[in-house]
Every structure is written in structure tokens, then in C-alpha cells.
Amino acid sequence: MAEESLDLTVSRLGECRIPSPLSHVQFVNDDKRVLYHSDCGAIEAILKEDEGPPCFEMAGPREKIYFDSSKVKCGIVTCGGLCPGFNDVIRAVVLSLFHHYGVKTVFGFRYGFEGLSYKYGHPPVELTPDKVQAIHQQGGTILGTSRGPQDISEMVDTLERMNVNILFTIGGDGTLRGAQAISEEIEKRNLKIGVIGIPKTIDNDISYLQRSFGFLTAVSEATTTIYSAHSEAQGARNGIGLVKLMGRHSGFIAAFATLANSDVNFCLVPEVGFSMEGFLGALRKRLESRHHAVVVAAEGAGQDLMGTTGERDASGNIRLGDIGVFLKDEIKAYFKKAGIDVELKYIDPSYTIRSMPASPPDSAFCLMLGHNAVHAAMAGRTNMVVGYWRDEFTHVPVSAAVSERKQIDPRDKLWTAVLSSTGQPRDMG
């Protein structure tokens, strides 16, 4: 989809007529917008074609709301893999509903979308301020999570049967696609139920979002792991520290962790191909000159080098080959054949990182995401995700958010900075 023709219109359940119960806040007018482009040249080119530049609706509390707070019932569901900040977002949504709007009934649906299906028999949990008071201090999600689709009709039946007016879905692109399908079924039935997505992807790969929660924590913890790998590498002659990080299709964690630690010599990401011959040759030159090296690989890097089965997981994602183990074996075999002794230490901190509590910057981000999700929901928005763009919180239609995957552009400033930091060859085959 061309950026110039991108439709960023957010769906609404109806006209907002009820005065907001909020006071002493700065209300946001519905016509407030956040420009998609920051480049003046791009905006001028669009304006010459008599079209307005693409803009996001700005998030924030509205002076008039759609739902009567005294009658609203809400639901929260968490889906996909674990991610730092899950509990922070749950807590922020619950506390904002109770204390900002006076909503008294909030259900937590257990184990992802399974909790909305009668087949599994997961009873919902009633969430109160007391119940969520300290959950931000622990990792994971108190609601549990799962992967994979469920029957859309059954899920909407549950919402209708329980008189749920607003559903908050916390998850990545698969969860957002599920939220979109739920919204479409709700519309078919002419129901007035809002569906608000809160973006959870530790890989930071959702389109039209500058950042998603969990990403900063992942980069911070990955950097600590890289310090350890560098110490191990420096402590041995021809020492190699190999770190595998998260990033199935997008290498943002690997790239930013590399920039945060200038000791990385090779950063391998899914967006930039390489050959084993090119990589191993460059690694050998590094050892010959400096006698130690640190290699960081995103989990989706180098998949074309390994034989894969084509199998898919519960979410429909192709099961990846293990690039960390593959590189470890290939590096050892190469240097053994060359008659060069190396000392290789391999570290995979993925499950440790994703199950941690959020870092302070991420916690603050989660709080604001949760608050803005509640403001959007109470103002009757639906089929949308709370975004963050140009340092402003925004409303993004789910259709745009899932239209394509956000990835590193090998020609942009980020990858150029990685190459400058590592000194690795731009082309490794």
C-alpha cells in the first residue's frame, strides 16, 4: 500500500455525547493529528497532488465520551509469547478504568483467546485495583497466554453473553489480526462493542508504530549478555563470544543492542543476507588481527543457510532453524579444519529476557499505553491499536498495523550505524 494513499481513519461506535468524568486534564480534540512523514520534501510532494499528508489521530482523553461509565463492563486478554511489561499494561488499564472513569467491572480472560471460547472452560478473573496493585513487579502475565486462533463466533458470543462493552487485546500482529476479525464479527451483528489493541511485540516489528512495549527492556538485558560474551572472548586466545537474540523477521533488538555495546564485531539480522564463506572469512581476519570477537545473531538471521522443515507453530509462523547452534557448529568446524584453536562461548538469553519485569522506561511507556487505550475505548473507538509515532501517542487502525511487517532497511541510517560500530563488511556474500 502506498504511503500517500494510506487510510489511517479510525472506526467509531457512534457519536460521543456524554461529558467525561475526568477533570484537571488536557483534553484532545478529535481533529488533532500527528504527521506520518517528518520530511518536508515528502509532505510537499503529496500536497502538490492535492491530497492531504497522511496523519494519525492523536491519542488522549476526550471531553465527550461514548460509554456511560456506570454501565460499562470491560475485558482484557493477553496473547502470544511472554514479554516484559504485560502486567504493567494490565495494571494501567484496570487502574485507569476504575479511578479515571469509575468503571467497576473488568474481566481478565485466561490464557489468551482461549479464555473467550467455551471449549476450554477457563473461568474469567475479575480484576480490581487491589488484585493488580503489585503485579508490575513480576514478569509474565497474571492472565496467562496462548498462541493460535479460536472460533471468532464463539468469542463474540462470549462477549455478548457477558455484556462486555469493551475488549482490550494485548499482543502482537497475530493478536491484532484476531482483534480485527472480532471487530468485523461484532459489526456484522450490529453490536456496540469496542475492541482496542495494545501492541506487544518484543521484536518491535509492528508497522506504523515507532516502538512497542518490552523492546527497551529486551535491548537493555541483551546488552548485559553481550558484556558477558565480550568478557569471555577477551579472556581467551582466539576467544569468540556468540549471542543469539530474539528477532524472527526483524533484527531491531540485535541492532540496538549492538549500538549500545561497541564491543560487537558482527551483527547478523534477518533483513541482511550473508554466506557462511563470507562470514567465516571475515571472522578469521578479525581473529588474526585482534585475537577475539563477539558475534550477535538475531534468531531469524541466516535461515536460508539451514534446511528447514516448513512446519508451522500454533500461531501459523514457520518454525525457524536454530541459527545460534548452527553458527556454533559451523564456526568450530571451520577453524578445526583450518588448524586454528578457538575458544567459543555460546549464550542464548531469550527466555530469560522475555520473562523479566519491565525496565523503568518500559514501565512508564506501558502506563501511558494503558491510559491511552482506556481513553480511546471510552471515546467509542474500535478496531484500532494504540500507537506511538514521532514521540506522540496515536490511534492506528488495525488494518494499517498488520498491513506489513516493520523491518530494518539495509540502506537506512540504523544499519549504516551498525556497520560503522562493528566494522563488519557491508557485503558478506
* Exposure of 336 in the CB half-sphere (CA atoms within 13 A): 7
Instruction: Check if 203 is active-site.
Output: yes
Residues 6+ apart with CB under 8 A from 342: 238, 239, 240, 287, 331, 332, 335
Which residue blocks in 119-214 are alpha helix, DSSP H?
129-132, 152-161, 173-188
Closest to 376 in 3D by CA, of 190, 159, 169: 169
| Annotated active-site residue in 88, 173, 203, 348 | 203
DSSP 56: E
Element (H, E) at 374: helix 360-378
Closest to 136 in 3D by CA, of 202, 85, 81: 85
Closest to 248 in 3D by CA, of 300, 310, 312: 300
On whether the CB atoms of residues 213 and 365 are closer than 8 A, the answer is yes
Element (H, E) at 12: strand 11-12
110-143 in b/e burial notation, b at 16+ Cβ within 10 A?
bbbbbbbbeeeebebbebeeebbeebbeebbbbb
Instruction: Supply the residues annotated as catalytic.
Output: 203
